[in-house]
Chains A and B, each alone.
Chain A
Amino acid sequence: MALAWRDLVDGLRRSWLWTSLAQQDIKLRYRGSLLGPFWQTLTTAAMITGMGVIYSHLFHTRTQDYLPLLTLGLIVWTFLSGLLTEGCNTFTSVQGIIQEIKLPFSVHAYRLVYRNILILAHNFIIVPIVLLIFPRPIVWWEALSIVPAFALIAINGLWISMLLGMISARFRDVPPIVLSAVQVVFFLTPVMWPVEALGRNAWWGQFNPFFAAIDVIRAPLLGNPVQPYSWPILLGVTILGGGSAFLLFTQFRHRLAFWV
């Protein structure tokens, strides 16, 4: 237990290592391209424009109402799905490093979460632009709640990448399972459509932790009230998930080097 805790703390202390590794990951991904990491921004912007125009017709809503909702939904979802799918490779993708140098295992999880935060930051540039074109009745002091919301999602990213990373290192059929699950969840979660569209079945969205994560970011920036269950669900998931991931880590930390 103490060793597992020390792994997490020591990992956190090496922030200079995982921040520069994450930055380099992104730098190398776009090396030699004109726009660099802003390709990410451009790709997301193109997708949102295209989908925004077509889906607002399909859903019979006005583009100026739909586009901000879609923008925020997709950007937060990209962050969540990135954490989930890359979380499976937390340890297997750095197999060589684990086998060669003694490092806190958590370093790899911090790196992964930080890298996804950087991608999120590049995508998030689109949000103020969309909100300038299609203004929403935002209460500014309420919108500040997205700061703790993002922090909480990042903490969730940490335990998800530790947990999925460990399980996937041991069982190699987990990554494809997670990948398909994430795709299914995308269509079952109010990402591209408002939770109100569920009508009397709104509970389906309200009790969905993925929706909770989107809602605590999206609602304040659209000037809407946050659903009553979103914060409690997100907090509950953090505590439960973080706790079980930590327990599993204490149990299997010393086996991890043999698994990868």
Chain B
Amino acid sequence: MSYIRLDNVSIEFPIYQGSSRSLKKALIATSTRGNLARDGLDRVMVRALSNLNFELQSGDRLALIGPNGAGKTTLLKTLAGIYEPTQGRFHSVGKVSSLLNTQVGLNTDATGRENIILRGMFMGMHPKEMHRLAPEIAEFTELGEYLDMPVRTYSAGMMVRLAFAISTCVAPEILLMDEWLSVGDAQFLEKAQRRIEGFVLGSNILVLASHSFDLVEQWCNRAILLHHGKIAMMGTVKDVIAGYRELIEYGSLEHRVELGEPAMQHDADAA
């Protein structure tokens, strides 16, 4: 039984760049207070997600749709427990497996086989267990002899195969995926879909961020449209895709939903 619930979740984080990365400038800024604080710490606060409310239950396959920078990846990271909400409450039950980036846990100097064990360990699996699962994973990737070569020689599609096969080797209760999956070829996508369907039938949750409407329509049964870090729309995949097209065309859904304040704000008097 898996479950996700967001109550009024907001994520706000400072972007540190240039001089705000510097300790010296921060020290000068705090010791002289006044004007220098503004020069020393030119932090920009980004409100990546604001006041999100929704609930997911077993069997839900949610699509996250939205233009670049809408907050899809931030939301996935929040669901994975990587980012803690700065406001609101986030509650989830179930073992999470996230496929946000193909590189992670993949040491590019190590071979494909070594990386199976490595990424598995990062996911919380004991090496013994991974050694037991390795042959099955190797077979699913169809990479054959390439598995004994360093991962740095792999193409993007091969990386996807490897990462997907490892992350789904044990049916996760909650699977979070970012859009990179579309790098895989058609035959592999089909195979991946069969596997995902397999464990969604076993009452699990899938959250997929994607720009590929075909993929979303095939895989998901609910959708959220994110815009400037807010939920602009929630509903069936078909409706939300239509909403997204409208959003692109008119620049907003204001004639349908209230959107409120802009997502970016400058915060000069930082702590």
Chain A: residues with CB nearer than 8 A to chain B?
14, 16-17, 20-21, 24, 28, 31, 96-103, 167, 170-174, 177, 254, 257-259
Binds A, one of B15-23, B52-60, B253-261: B15-23
**B83 and A96 within 8 A (CB):** no
Pairs of residues from A and B, 6 with the lowest C-beta to C-beta distance, nearest first: A171-B23, A102-B81, A100-B104, A258-B13, A172-B21, A254-B84
Residues of B within 8 A of A (CB-CB), count: 32
**B104 and A101 within 8 A (CB):** yes
B80 within 8 A of A: yes
**B104 and A171 within 8 A (CB):** no
The contact sample of 24 A-B pairs, CB cut-off 8 A, is A16-B121, A16-B126, A20-B127, A24-B118, A28-B107, A97-B104, A97-B105, A97-B122, A99-B104, A100-B105, A101-B98, A101-B104, A101-B105, A101-B123, A102-B96, A103-B122, A171-B22, A171-B23, A171-B26, A173-B22, A173-B23, A174-B23, A177-B23, A257-B77
Docked pose: A257 CA to B100 CA in angstroms: 15
- Neighbouring B residues of A20 by C-beta, 8 Å: 121, 127
Chain B: residues with CB nearer than 8 A to chain A?
13-14, 16, 21-24, 26, 77, 80-84, 96, 98, 100-101, 103-105, 107, 109-110, 114, 118, 121-124, 126-127
**B109 and A101 within 8 A (CB):** no
- Neighbouring A residues of B101 by C-beta, 8 Å: 96, 99-100
**A28 and B110 within 8 A (CB):** yes
**B24 and A173 within 8 A (CB):** yes
- Looking at chain A's contact residues, is the secondary structure mostly helix, strand, loop, or mixed? helix
> Looking across the interface, which residue of chain A has its beta carbon closest to that of B23?
A171
- Neighbouring A residues of B16 by C-beta, 8 Å: 170, 259
Among B23, B98, B107: residue with most chain A CB under 10 A:
B23
**A24 and B14 within 8 A (CB):** no
- Neighbouring A residues of B83 by C-beta, 8 Å: 257-258
- Neighbouring B residues of A167 by C-beta, 8 Å: 23
- Neighbouring B residues of A258 by C-beta, 8 Å: 13-14, 83
**A101 and B82 within 8 A (CB):** yes
Give the Cβ gap from A102 to chain B, nearest Cβ, in Å: 4
Docked pose: A141 CA to B67 CA in angstroms: 70
- Neighbouring A residues of B80 by C-beta, 8 Å: 100-102
- Neighbouring A residues of B22 by C-beta, 8 Å: 171-173
Docked pose: A21 CA to B21 CA in angstroms: 29
Given contacts A28-B109, A31-B109, contact A101 B21 (CB under 8 A): no
Of A24, A100, A170, which is within 8 A of B98 by CB?
Answer: A100
Docked pose: A107 CA to B23 CA in angstroms: 26
- Neighbouring A residues of B84 by C-beta, 8 Å: 254, 257
